[in-house]
Amino acid sequence: MIIVMQRGASDAEIDAVVARIREHGLSEHVSKGSERTIIGAIGDERPLEPRHFEPLPGVERALHVVKPYRLVSRETQPEDTVVSIHGVRIGGPQLQVIAGPCSVETPEQMALSAAGVRAAGCRMMRGGAFKPRTSPYSFQGLGVEGLELLLAAARPAGLPVVTELMDVRMLDTFMEHDVDVIQIGARNMQNFDLLKEVGRINKPVVLKRGLANTVSEWLMAAEYIAAGGNHHIILCERGIRTFETAYRNTLDLTAVMVAKRESHLPVIVDPSHAGGKAWMVPQLARAAIAAGADGLLIEMHPSPCDAWCDADQALSPAELAELMDSLRLIAQAVGRTL
Amino acid sequence: MIIVMQRGASDAEIDAVVARIREHGLSEHVSKGSERTIIGAIGDERPLEPRHFEPLPGVERALHVVKPYRLVSRETQPEDTVVSIHGVRIGGPQLQVIAGPCSVETPEQMALSAAGVRAAGCRMMRGGAFKPRTSPYSFQGLGVEGLELLLAAARPAGLPVVTELMDVRMLDTFMEHDVDVIQIGARNMQNFDLLKEVGRINKPVVLKRGLANTVSEWLMAAEYIAAGGNHHIILCERGIRTFETAYRNTLDLTAVMVAKRESHLPVIVDPSHAGGKAWMVPQLARAAIAAGADGLLIEMHPSPCDAWCDADQALSPAELAELMDSLRLIAQAVGRTL
Amino acid sequence: MIIVMQRGASDAEIDAVVARIREHGLSEHVSKGSERTIIGAIGDERPLEPRHFEPLPGVERALHVVKPYRLVSRETQPEDTVVSIHGVRIGGPQLQVIAGPCSVETPEQMALSAAGVRAAGCRMMRGGAFKPRTSPYSFQGLGVEGLELLLAAARPAGLPVVTELMDVRMLDTFMEHDVDVIQIGARNMQNFDLLKEVGRINKPVVLKRGLANTVSEWLMAAEYIAAGGNHHIILCERGIRTFETAYRNTLDLTAVMVAKRESHLPVIVDPSHAGGKAWMVPQLARAAIAAGADGLLIEMHPSPCDAWCDADQALSPAELAELMDSLRLIAQAVGRTL
Amino acid sequence: MIIVMQRGASDAEIDAVVARIREHGLSEHVSKGSERTIIGAIGDERPLEPRHFEPLPGVERALHVVKPYRLVSRETQPEDTVVSIHGVRIGGPQLQVIAGPCSVETPEQMALSAAGVRAAGCRMMRGGAFKPRTSPYSFQGLGVEGLELLLAAARPAGLPVVTELMDVRMLDTFMEHDVDVIQIGARNMQNFDLLKEVGRINKPVVLKRGLANTVSEWLMAAEYIAAGGNHHIILCERGIRTFETAYRNTLDLTAVMVAKRESHLPVIVDPSHAGGKAWMVPQLARAAIAAGADGLLIEMHPSPCDAWCDADQALSPAELAELMDSLRLIAQAVGRTL
C-alpha cells in the first residue's frame, strides 16, 4: 500500500503512519518528494485498507498497489480453470450455450423446452423455479415444484441444469435434488452469507455480476466462494445499469475481457437479460463470443408470447437453432468450437 | 396500461392486444391517431406488465400509467406514517439522529459510544454486529457476541438500537434478543426472501436504498415488507453509485424528497456511508435535514483513528455533539424540532 | 403525446389540457379509466413537449409516443444510407477500418503511419491535428500544421482522411484544405452551433456519441446536421461513462444495434478510445463487427511507446495488420466483407 | 507520479521507466517491495501522464499523487476568491440568488420578471437568449434580440445579468452589450476553444458542471479559463446524469463541498435544472445552502404555465419571494446572510 502525505505533513505525522504500518507487521519505505512525502508499506498488504490510514492526521490518501483478490487471480493460477459438469466443460476450447425458459411453468412447457434445447445442439439447460421479482405481486416462481419439473424434463434429455438459488435455507433442497449448477443472481452477488454457503459445497456455481458492481467487486464475490473451498466458479456478465433507457441494461463486454485477464475463471454472458428484447439476443450473443466469452446463458421458450415472465426476451426454439448456426462461424473465427 | 402500436399495425394485431387485455379481466379503449394506434387497458392494471404485450406482433411499447406500489403509496394513505420505537417517534415533527460505531468492537468502546450518543442528545443508537464486507479477508463483525455487547451498552443508557440483519437464519436470534429496529442493508435491498421474513414480524425495519436502485424499486422493496403485514418501515437514503470517484457515493437528496412525496413512510439519511469521509458528514447532514429528511443515521466512534472499520467516516463524540447543535438551527429553519 | 391526469383530476383541469392540445393544432382523444383519465394528442406531436403539459394543474405526466427524430429515422427512410468518400463506401456490405495515430506529430511519423495503414489493407486514415485535452497544460495538437502533415502523408497514399473539428471558426480552413471527413468529437456532440455549421456543408461527418448521451440524444444531434441539409452522416460509438473504473469507458454495443434499428445511418465503433488500452482493441473490434457495426476507427502509431498522447491505446502497424486478418473471419461470419 | 511495476518486472524494464522519468526532467525513487517494485517520480509531475508510462513493458499502472489543477487549487490560494459584479459579491459571507426566466420571450415577460426578481430581494437576474436544445425543432432562443430584451429589463432595475454564451463567434456581441456575467453551459463545459476565449476576457464567468463530468474535470475546465488570465470564475453545480429516471438529474451536493475544499472559487447551485420540477426547487435550494453553496441560480417566470420552455421547473414571483424568506433562516443557521 502507498500512503501519500499531505503537502507539509510533519515528521510526527509521518512517524504515526510508519508506526501503523509496523503494527500490521509490514515494513515501510519513506520517499520524500519535492511536493509530497510518499510512504510505501512493504509486505503482504492485503489485510491493510486505505481506511486504516486515511483518518490519520497529515495523510492525503492511501492506495492499494496489489489486487485484493488472491485465489481467483491469474497471478495465483496462470492457467485457465475449466469447470466440468458431467463431462460438459466450461472454460476450455469448446463453447457452451445454456438455454431454457426464464421460469418453469408446466410439464408440457418444460418438455418442449428440453426438446428445443437439444434440437439446437445445446448441452445444458436453464430454468427458473425461484424468481427474484421487483414486485411482490408478480409471479414468484413455482419453487420446489418448479425445481422438480425442471429436472424431470432435463434428466431424460441428458441435459445438466442451471437454476437460481435465492434463499440460503433452500440450499439443502438443491443438494437433495442434486441440481447440477447453482446460479447466484445479480441481486445476490454481494449476499455474503449466501456466497459463504455455496463456498462450502462441492458443486459448480454461476456467479452473475451485480447490476452496479465493478469487476473487482465481482471477483471479490468469487473470492468469497473460493475462500470457502469451492473452486468450481463460472462468472456471468448480464449487463450493467447506466444512464441509458433505450434498453434494459448495458452489456459490458470489456468486463468479460478484463475478468478473464485478471482471473483464471471461465466467464459466460447472458445476452437475454442484458438487452431485454429477443431481437437483440443474436447480435449480443455473437459479440460476446467474438469478445472471448466462454459461453452463453440464453432464454428460450417454446412459445415466447405466452411466457409467464420476460416473454419479450425469449427466443423460440427455431430462433435458438438459427443462432447456434451463426455462432459456429464466430466460434471458428476466434479459434473455438461450439 | 397504455399499449402503443407500431405505425401501420394491422387490425388483427390490434385485436390480439385487445384479447390479451380482456384475458386479464380489464377492458380496452382503442384510439387511432394519425401516426399510431394507442390502446388503453382500463381497470386495475397492476397485474399487467409491459412484457405481457411487447412481444406481441405490431406492438411498439407498453407503459404503466399507475405506480406499481400500493400499500406504501401516498395515494393509499395520504397522512405520514410515524414509526414509534419505545416512544421515540420517527416521521413526526421531531427529528431523530441515530448514532454509534460502524462495528461493535469491545465493551469499553460500546460503553463510551453509548455515553457519547447520550451526551450529544441523540435518542437512539446504532452499531454493527454483522458486517457486509467486500472482502472475505476483512473483519466480518463479532456476530451474536457483538449483538449482546451492543444491547449491554445501549439498554442501561435507555437507547433503543438499530442493527443490521444480513442472514435470514439470524432473524430468530434478533427476535430473542429483542433488537429494537432491524436494518436491511443496501446490498440486501432486493434480497426478497429476507424482505418477506421481516414483513412477517412486528418490529420496525430500516430499509436502506440499494447503491443502484431507483426510488421506484426502493418503494417496491418496502412494498414487499408491507405486503407481509409489517408497516413499521423507515426508508434510508445512503448514497448511490455514479461515475464520480472523488467520494465513495453520491448522496441523492432528490430521492428523499420524491420518496416522501410518493410514499407516506418516514425517510432518514445516512451521510456517513454516502460521503465516506468524516469531514463531509456535518454538511451532508445539514443538507439532508434542509431537504426534508426525518432523521439521520450517523457513525460515531469514541476514537475514530482506532476504529476497526470505516474509521475515516466516523465522527468523534465531540464532533457529534457539535453537529447536533448546528442541526437544531436547521431543524428550526424547516419547522422541525430536534 | 399522451397526457396522464392525476387521480381525481377535475373536468376543468381536463378541459385546460384539451385547450392546450388544440392551441398546438392537434386534436384530443379523452379516455376515462377507472383510476385515471388519459388524454391523447392526435396529429404531429413533435412540436409538443411534456413540459408544455406537466405544469398544468391536475396533470401527472405527459409522454411522447412517437420518436423525436425525423430525417435520420428508419421510419422516414427504411433503406440503409451508404456514405461514399471518394469511392470508399461506409454502410454497405463492405466494412471500413479507419486507422491512424491519435495525434499528428512529425512528417516521419505520418509517413510511417500512412504506410502502416495501407499495408494493413485499410482504405482510410485518421489523425488528430486539434486535440480536446482535459488539461490546458497537455499537448493541444499541431493545429493547421498538423492538418497539412496529415494530408501530405495521406494524399499520396490514396487514403481519404478523417480528422476532428473542435472550433467552428476552423471550418473554413477544413474546407479550404478539402478534408475528406470531418469528425465531431464526443465532447462536442451537443455543441449545437457546431452541428448547425457542419449541417450546412456538403461533406461527410463522423458524429461521435457523447460520453453520457442516450441513443435518442445522439440521433437528435444527427438530426441537427440533417436538418441543415447534410445527410452524409456516420455515427460513431466510442464508449460511455459508467461507475466502472477498471477501464476508461464502457463500450456500448447495444447502442450500435439500436442506432442501426432506429436510424438508416451507418454506425462505426472506436474501440481504442473506449477501452483505453491497446490489448483490449482487437477483442472489442471483433465484438463490434459481430454486433453489426459498419466499420471501425482504430488508433495505430508507428511506435506506440513514443506517442505524444494516448500511447497506451495505439496498436503498432504489425498489430493492426494482424487485427485485420482476424476481422476478415468475423466479417464473413456476419455476411460482410472487409 | 508513482509507477507500479508488474510482479517480476526485469531490471531492464525498471531502467526504461527511470530513463523516461529523467527525460521529463524529474528524478526517480525506486522502492523494491516484496511483491512489486514501485518507482516514484520526484519533481513537478504535472506534465507527466499515466499514458507516458503504462505502455512501457513491465509497467502495471502509473498514478498521479498531486492534483492536476494548479491556479484554481486551494493549495495555490488558500483564501476564498470573491467575485464582485458591480458590487454584488459572490463567494463572501453574503449569499446571492440569481433568478429569472429560462428563456427571454417578450418585453412584457422580461419587465415582469425583473420586477419579480427585485421584489423577492434578489440582486442579480438570469435569462436565456441563446438556448441549447436537444431538438433542432425546439425554440432556440431569441438570440441577440433576446440579449437586448434582457438588458433592457435588467438595467433600469439595477440588476446585473447572467446569460449563456454557446457560440464563440458571439463573444464580441456579448462584450459589446457589456453582459455582466457570461454563463458556460453544462454541454459546453469541455468546449475547450470556448473556455480559452472566455479566459482571455476580463468578465466573470459562471462555469456549469457537465452532466457526466467529475469534480476534477470541472476544476480542469476552470483551469483552462484561469490559465488564460481570467480569474473571475464561479462554479455552478446543476445535477448529474445517473441511472435514476424519476427526476431529470441528480443534484450532487457532495460535489459542491469537494469543489469548495479543493478550490478557492465560489460555487453556486442551480436547483431548477437539476430537479426539473418546480416543486423540488425550494427543498433543493435550502439543501444547497445548508451544504455550503455560495448562491443559487433559480428559474422564475411571471406565469410559469405559459413559459416557452422548461415551464415545469419555473417558480412564480410569489413562490420565489416565499423561498427567499425560508432561505434567510437556513443562511443564518450556517452563519451566512442573504
Query: How confident is the model over B229-259, as pLDDT tens digits?
Result: 999 999 999 999 999 999 999 999 999 999 9
- Distance, in angstroms, between C261 CA and closest chain D CA? 20
Note the pLDDT of residue C309: 66
| Residue A32: pLDDT over 90 | no
Residue A118: inside a domain: yes
Over residues D16-59, the pLDDT tens digits come to 999 999 988 888 888 887 777 888 888 777 778 887 888 888 88
Note the pLDDT of residue D46: 73
| Residue A33: pLDDT over 80 | no
Which positions ≥6 away from D81 have C-beta within 8 Å? Answer: D91, D231, D233, D264, D265, D266
Which positions ≥6 away from D17 have C-beta within 8 Å? Answer: D3, D5, D28, D39, D53, D56, D58, D59
Q: Do A312 and B51 make contact, defined as CB atoms within 8 angstroms?
A: yes
Q: Of B63, B91, B114, which residue sits at a domain end? A: B63
Task: Specify the range with the lowest mean pLDDT, choosing from A40-49, A181-190, B71-80, B135-144.
Answer: A40-49
Strand partners, D267: D235
Q: Determine the angle formed by the axes of helices A317-333 and C317-333, rounding to 10 degrees.
A: 150
C-alpha cell at B48: 399487467
* Interatomic CA distance for residues B99 and B116, integer angstroms: 9
Q: Determine the angle formed by the axes of helices C281-290 and A253-262, rounding to 10 degrees.
A: 140
pLDDT, averaged across chain D: 93
With cut-offs at 50, 70 and 90, classify the pLDDT of residue D114: very high
DSSP letter at C202 equals -
Q: What percent of chain C has pLDDT over 70?
A: 99
Residue D78: inside a domain: no
DSSP letter at B138 equals S
| Residue C281: pLDDT over 90 | yes
Q: How far apart are the first and last CA of chain A?
A: 44
Q: Are residues B280 and B323 in the same domain?
A: yes
With cut-offs at 50, 70 and 90, classify the pLDDT of residue D310: low
Note the pLDDT of residue D309: 66
| Residue A132: pLDDT over 80 | yes
Better-scored residue on pLDDT, D124 or B1: D124
Q: DSSP 3-state assignment of D116? A: helix
Q: Are residues D20 and D115 in the same domain?
A: no
Strand ranges for D135-264 from DSSP E: 161-164, 181-184, 205-208, 233-237
Residue C70: inside a domain: no
Note the pLDDT of residue D311: 65
Q: Are residues D43 and D128 in the same domain?
A: no
Residue C15: inside a domain: yes
Q: Do D136 and C220 make contact, defined as CB atoms within 8 angstroms?
A: yes
Over residues C12-36, the pLDDT tens digits come to 999 999 998 998 888 888 888 777 7
Q: Do B215 and D246 make contact, defined as CB atoms within 8 angstroms?
A: yes
Q: Where are the alpha helices (DSSP H) in chain B?
A: 11-23, 107-119, 144-154, 171-176, 192-200, 215-227, 253-262, 271-275, 281-290, 317-333
CB B93 within 8 A of CB B86: no
- CATH number, residue C50: 3.30.70.1140
* Interatomic CA distance for residues A188 and A208, integer angstroms: 8
* Interatomic CA distance for residues B183 and B273, integer angstroms: 14
Task: Determine which of A218, A254, A263 to mutate to test the interface with C (most C C-beta atoms within 10 Å).
Answer: A254
Residue C246: inside a domain: yes
Residue A255: inside a domain: yes
Q: Are residues C99 and C55 in the same domain?
A: no
CB D62 within 8 A of CB D298: no
If you measure CA to CA, which chain C residue comes closest to A217?
C244
Residues of C in contact with A242 (CB under 8 A): 240, 242, 250, 252
* Interatomic CA distance for residues C128 and D72, integer angstroms: 29
Q: Of A13, A32, A63, which residue sits at a domain end? A: A63
Note the pLDDT of residue D118: 97
Residue B293: inside a domain: yes
Better-scored residue on pLDDT, A237 or B8: A237
Q: What is the ipTM of this complex?
A: 0.93
Q: Are residues B152 and B42 in the same domain?
A: no
| Residue D148: pLDDT over 80 | yes
Q: What domain range is A113 assigned to?
A: 83-333
Q: Are residues A12 and A155 in the same domain?
A: no
Q: Are residues A105 and A44 in the same domain?
A: no
Residues of D in contact with B216 (CB under 8 A): 246
If you measure CA to CA, which chain D residue comes closest to B217?
D244
Over residues C68-81, the pLDDT tens digits come to 899 999 989 999 99
Q: Are residues A50 and A184 in the same domain?
A: no
Residue A296: inside a domain: yes
Which positions ≥6 away from C318 have C-beta within 8 Å? Answer: none
Residue D27's alpha-carbon distances to A32, A36, B239, in angstroms, are 12, 14, 42
Note the pLDDT of residue B305: 77
Residues of D in contact with B286 (CB under 8 A): 290-291, 333-334
- CATH number, residue A280: 3.20.20.70
Q: Are residues A189 and A303 in the same domain?
A: yes
With cut-offs at 50, 70 and 90, classify the pLDDT of residue A29: confident
Over residues C251-276, the pLDDT tens digits come to 999 999 999 999 999 999 999 999 88
Note the pLDDT of residue D186: 97
| Residue A59: pLDDT over 70 | yes
- List chains adjacent to chain C, taking adjacency as at least 3 C-beta pairs closer than 8 Å: A, B, D
Residues of C in contact with B36 (CB under 8 A): 65-66
Report the residue count for chain B.
338
- For residue A321, give the amino acid letter: A
| Residue C205: pLDDT over 90 | yes
| Residue C182: pLDDT over 70 | yes
Better-scored residue on pLDDT, D330 or A5: D330
Strand partners, A297: A98
- Distance, in angstroms, between A26 CA and closest chain D CA? 10
Note the pLDDT of residue A64: 81
CB C42 within 8 A of CB C27: yes
pLDDT, averaged across chain A: 93
Q: Do B34 and C40 make contact, defined as CB atoms within 8 angstroms?
A: no
Matching residue, cell 384475458: B23
Provide the whole-model pTM: 0.94
DSSP letter at B278 equals G
Strand partners, D6: none
* Interatomic CA distance for residues C81 and C90, integer angstroms: 9
* Interatomic CA distance for residues C203 and C228, integer angstroms: 12
- In three-state form (DSSP H/G/I as H, E/B as E, the rest C), the secondary structure along C118-170 is HHCCCCEEECECCCCCCCCCCCCCCCHHHHHHHHHHHCCCCCCEEEECCCHHH
Q: Are residues A37 and A173 in the same domain?
A: no
Q: Are residues B130 and B261 in the same domain?
A: yes
Nearest to B269 by CA among B246, B248, B247, B292: B292
Q: How many domains does chain B have?
A: 2
Q: For chain B, which residues score pLDDT lower than 70? A: 309-311
pLDDT, averaged across chain C: 93
Better-scored residue on pLDDT, A44 or D322: D322
* Interatomic CA distance for residues D120 and D328, integer angstroms: 12
* Interatomic CA distance for residues B195 and B193, integer angstroms: 5
Q: Are residues B52 and B164 in the same domain?
A: no
| Residue D230: pLDDT over 80 | yes
- Distance, in angstroms, between B88 CA and closest chain A CA? 30
With cut-offs at 50, 70 and 90, classify the pLDDT of residue C311: low
Task: Determine which of D209, D238, D247, D254 to mutate to test the interface with B (most B C-beta atoms within 10 Å).
Answer: D254
